[in-house]
A and B are shown apart, each in its own frame.
Chain A
Amino acid sequence: SAVISQKPSRDICQRGTSLTIQCQVDSQVTMMFWYRQQPGQSLTLIATANQGSEATYESGFVIDKFPISRPNLTFSTLTVSNMSPEDSSIYLCSAASGDNYGYTFGSGTRLTVV
């Protein structure tokens, strides 16, 4: 299965600023996803990162707040824009090769907004 490098691992940011999270996969993958995990909760899908086209967002998430890029089959970024304390969470990227042998995760980015 794919190995994903995610960075930064953590950050503390001022409200009103933006943070870009990067994920690099060690092999080409068909699908990449971004999740949010709030403290003590499960994973909520933010969006599917589509290579060469706009991301597909889940209900409750919008492009202006969480712009996503996927320029190729091994790399994606998620930006958390105009942050507020409510954005404090762990953000995780995930990749799947399309063979149904599981979706692997990056190590996560722990974001604290102050």
Chain B
Amino acid sequence: QKEVEQNSGPLSVPEGAIASLNCTYSDRGSQSFFWYRQYSGKSPELIMFIYSNGDKEDGRFTAQLNKASQYVSLLIRDSQPSDSATYLCAVTHTDKLIFGTGTRLQVFP
């Protein structure tokens, strides 16, 4: 069974701080890695995707990938209360997207 692991949280950070979300995966054959944000009662919304080792930045978000360590992370700079949500890490296994358990982020004013 291919697995994607995340700390369920909640991760609590003050407004303006950097939130760091982590994910590990078991399938060394995974090629694509995604971060989704899910607000309560809503469907997942794609934030970032990354395919190559290293960092990828998009606005306040930075995704980091280390395939040797089978590790992917998401950094959220200048966290806002509106960032409070569950963040889902997902990796591809063949063409299927397998999700982690999600990390609940709480940003307090």
> Residues of A with Cβ closer than 8 Å to B?
1, 31, 33, 35, 41-45, 48, 59, 92, 94, 96, 98, 100-108
Of the A-B pairs whose beta carbons lie under 8 Å apart in the complex, a sample of 26, sorted by A's number, is: A1-B46, A33-B96, A33-B97, A35-B99, A41-B101, A42-B102, A43-B44, A43-B88, A43-B99, A44-B99, A45-B96, A45-B99, A48-B96, A59-B1, A92-B43, A92-B44, A94-B97, A96-B95, A98-B95, A100-B31, A100-B32, A100-B49, A100-B51, A102-B49, A103-B46, A106-B43
> Residues of B with Cβ closer than 8 Å to A?
1, 31-32, 34, 42-46, 49, 51, 88, 90, 95-102
Q: Does A42 lie within 8 Å of B96, measured CB to CB?
A: no
Q: In the complex, what distance in Å separates the CA atom of A92 from the CA atom of B45?
A: 12
Top 8 A-B pairs ranked by shortest CB distance? A105-B43, A102-B46, A43-B99, A42-B101, A108-B43, A42-B99, A42-B102, A103-B97
Q: In the complex, what distance in Å separates the CA atom of A94 from the CA atom of B98?
A: 12
Q: Which residue of A lies closest to B98 (CB)?
A: A45
Q: A43-B44, A45-B97, A105-B45 are in contact. List 19 more A-B contacts (CB 8 A).
A: A31-B95, A33-B97, A35-B99, A42-B88, A42-B101, A44-B99, A45-B99, A48-B96, A96-B97, A98-B95, A100-B51, A102-B34, A102-B49, A103-B34, A103-B90, A103-B97, A104-B46, A105-B44, A108-B42
